[in-house]
Structure 1
Amino acid sequence: MSANLFQPYALNNTLTLANKILMAPLTRCMADANLVPTQQIADYYARRAEAGLIISEATIIRPDGQGYPNTPGLFSPEQVQGWKVVTDAVHANGGKIFAQLWHTGRVAHPHFFGGGDVLSASAVAVEGSVPRMRELTYQTPKAATKEDIEQLVKDYAQAAANAIDAGFDGVEIHGANGYLIDQFLHHDSNRREDEYGQTPENMSRFALEVLDAIVARIGADRTGLRLSPGAYFNMAADKRDRAIFDYLLPEVAKRDIAFVHAGIFDDAMEFDYLDGRVSSYLRKVYTGTLVGVGSYSAQSGAEAITANKFDLLAIGRPFIANPDYVAKVRQGEAVVEYNDAMLAELI
């Protein structure tokens, strides 16, 4: 029933995937105190190298991007070297791996980077506290200045270059799920009145500047982008948001990047201002390779690909529970069901 998942897929002239099953980015909080990936993390990814493409756990581009404990970085020489061990292990097992580049924006916390400003599109706080460290409540962020934005764009591009130096096959820009880039793309978090706010073109500007800087540095063929047109995580929905993505997605398509990846935990969710599911909206508006994700099984994902709802299937939590997920699906074997206790270790 899922045979179409095992056909090769050419992202472009540079990269062809062995199959259409991607390992979705999964935050594990298992880097060392200096945010360097460990040998244990290298072993973890190597065991999952049969995926057509692994997208790494979200990896911060600079210290003030950190919002969770022990999330890896890609800004120090030690971190680059740590990731080199990971990518070598994945490649030795025949796999491909992209780094997901991350800045958490207003859900960062000064506890992690020795104090200072938390940056966002606007000075609008999100309620709540840091996962795994509930004693840390979120701060009201500083609205990024034009100088801040200029430096952020440079730091995203440098992190992309660092990823290539670390042996990654490419990068996925994390522009989804309520983090920094996404905070510019939704009216709930972007109240700016300058050239980065108010209109779809202005609110898309930061995302496109980051994308263009990374493409210029490492190539469109090695660049993917994750987006959340539907506001649902650390973000309130606003019907005006659709116009932003109606503008942004055709602009992204002009860049001819490797793929756009839906940012949604459950693609059964529907958004009235998108006329339904995030994946359906993306398929309607974006003309390039689309990665679907969000509580799909191999069978339901294969059916969605057959129905042309998206081109590639990203699988998340089942990959935590089943290092051999791809082999099990190919052989028609039952997969182990995920449970949260599995987060306590890397298997």
Structure 2
Amino acid sequence: MSTYPISPALLSKPIIHPTLDTPLDLGSLTLKNRVVMASLTRNRGVVSNPVNATYYAQRASTGLIVSEGTLVTPQGTEWIDCPGLYDERTTAGWTNTVAEVHKAGGVIFAQLWHLGRVCHPHLQANVPNVGPSAVKAQGGKFRLLQGQPGYVTPVAIEKPQAYAMLYRHAAENARRAGFDGVELHAANGYLVNQFIDSKSNVRTDAYGGSPENRARFALEIIDHLIAVYGADRVGIKLSPSGGYNDMQGGEPDLPTYTYLVTQLAHRGIAYVQVTRYLDDFSAGGAKVDVLALGQLLKNSTTKFLVNGGFDAAEAELWVKQGKADAIVFGRPILATPDFKDRAIRGVQPNTDLKFNEFYVPKDNNPALGYTDYPFYQDGKVE
């Protein structure tokens, strides 16, 4: 079922990547294919709105949509117009968007997000930035606001359990809004990743030091999410190579990731999504063998999803060879609403990404650079 125009000319082309087009049992859900839409911050509204609904529903032909990072508290962002799931208004906004995705035949998880020490200090309602420890991230280039004063030294969180409850509350709101499940954002140098990484976490209590302790915060949140949704509707995103937002990653933190993934497998969550090393995204980090982490899931029901610079041909090979259960795509789906149908047929996605409109709508029109990317039209590539 789709309410958006998949070209008959496209559908008439032969399928050359058939494995990507096979169903996948994901917990209690059956995904219609192995193409997953990554979480992609677009800065189009604190409260999800009709243009957001159109954007996601256009892309509902993918097996699974993971929403853009969605805040568990308004004091947790570096973005002016990033959506949340922390109160009645933000929850109600998502309800229509989720309904439109379902109407178009899609499955959508909410990605739950807190940025921790890399929040913009001017967007914290006069409360301090927080992190696992009072360790400042190096850098400070914020996307839309002035970079100064850059990243600041955070206040160490005294009671991580209270922050874990923010994620539970957001999951409860996600369920009320109709999301099919939730994904914990534990990657890319944000709050949960900051607890995992030994560079940003120098605590000496039960949340720091050993791999078991540095994984504790993530697992406590996962247990809250399971309590709300059930294990088979919960996923997590990890980036063990580090780099982004001044994360160390690599070999020093691999024991923590190994322990964490093993515990996630025991819990039987729906999936673990791992981002592999990318030169432009993981600079400053170190390459990690993501397949070794995937092997930790082999004897569990938890599926292994991999993200990071795939094209359709490589994605087909990874799934066909059993390296991953599904592949997560970002920018190609951002720019190509019918990406799945092009990918399985080896048809080029749109190439005009409109970088200048990723986060700042042209002429203050949120649809531009968002819902105006073209569907396939008789071989024309934009």
* Same fold, TM-score > 0.5, yes or no: yes
Equivalent of 2:311, from 275, 288, 297? 297
Matches of 2:200 and 2:97, distance apart in 1: 35
Q: Is the 8 A contact 2:277 2:288 kept in 1?
A: no
Superposed counterparts of 1:183-262, under 5 Å: 183-234=194-245, 235-237=247-249, 239-262=251-274
Alpha carbons of 1:60 and 1:315: their partners in 2 closer, same or farther (altered >3 Å)? same
Alpha carbons of 1:278 and 1:117: their partners in 2 closer, same or farther (altered >3 Å)? farther
Q: Indicate the residue corresponding to 1:316 in structure 2.
A: 330
Q: Is there any run of 5+ residues in structure 1 with no aligned partner, and where?
A: none
Equivalent of 1:85, from 65, 74, 96? 96
Equivalent of 1:3, from 5, 15, 18? 18
Q: CA RMSD in A?
A: 2.1
Matches of 1:329 and 1:186, distance apart in 2: 35
Taking only the aligned residue pairs, the percentage that are identical comes to 37
Matches of 1:121 and 1:104, distance apart in 2: 12
Matches of 2:214 and 2:248, distance apart in 1: 16
Alpha carbons of 1:269 and 1:141: their partners in 2 closer, same or farther (altered >3 Å)? closer
Q: Is the 8 A contact 2:17 2:346 kept in 1?
A: no
Question: Structure 1-normalised TM-score?
Answer: 0.93
Q: Indicate the residue corresponding to 1:55 in structure 2.
A: 66
Matches of 1:334 and 1:250, distance apart in 2: 38
The structure that has the greater radius of gyration is: 2
Superposed counterparts of 1:88-237, under 5 Å: 88-126=99-137, 127-136=139-148, 137-146=150-159, 149-234=160-245, 235-237=247-249
Q: Is the 8 A contact 1:267 1:295 kept in 2?
A: no
- C-alpha displacement of 1:150: 1.6
- C-alpha displacement of 1:281: 3.0
Aligned pairs, how many? 340
Question: Structure 2-normalised TM-score?
Answer: 0.84
Matches of 1:278 and 1:159, distance apart in 2: 32
Q: Is there any run of 5+ residues in structure 2 with no aligned partner, and where?
A: 1-15, 362-368, 372-382
Matches of 1:277 and 1:191, distance apart in 2: 22
Matches of 1:267 and 1:305, distance apart in 2: 23
Matches of 1:115 and 1:2, distance apart in 2: 52
Equivalent of 1:40, from 19, 39, 51? 51
- C-alpha displacement of 1:169: 0.3
Answering whether residue 370 of structure 2 is matched by residue 346 of structure 1, we say: yes
Alpha carbons of 1:269 and 1:110: their partners in 2 closer, same or farther (altered >3 Å)? closer
Q: Is the 8 A contact 1:29 1:71 kept in 2?
A: yes
- State the secondary structure of the residue aligned to 2:67: strand
- C-alpha displacement of 1:268: 10
Q: Indicate the residue corresponding to 1:20 in structure 2.
A: 34
- C-alpha displacement of 1:318: 0.5
Q: Which amino acid aligns with 1:303?
A: L
Deviation string 1:56-107 (CA, Å, 9 cap, x unpaired) is: 0000001121122211000111111110111011001000100000000101
- C-alpha displacement of 1:233: 0.7
Comparing 226-235 and 91-100, the one that deviates more: 226-235
Alpha carbons of 1:267 and 1:8: their partners in 2 closer, same or farther (altered >3 Å)? farther
- State the secondary structure of the residue aligned to 1:304: helix
Matches of 2:152 and 2:313, distance apart in 1: 43
Runs of 4+ deviating beyond 2 Å: 236-240, 263-271, 276-279, 284-288, 329-334
Matches of 1:281 and 1:132, distance apart in 2: 37
Matches of 2:153 and 2:281, distance apart in 1: 29
- C-alpha displacement of 1:135: 3.4
Matches of 2:102 and 2:324, distance apart in 1: 26
Q: Is the 8 A contact 2:167 2:221 kept in 1?
A: yes
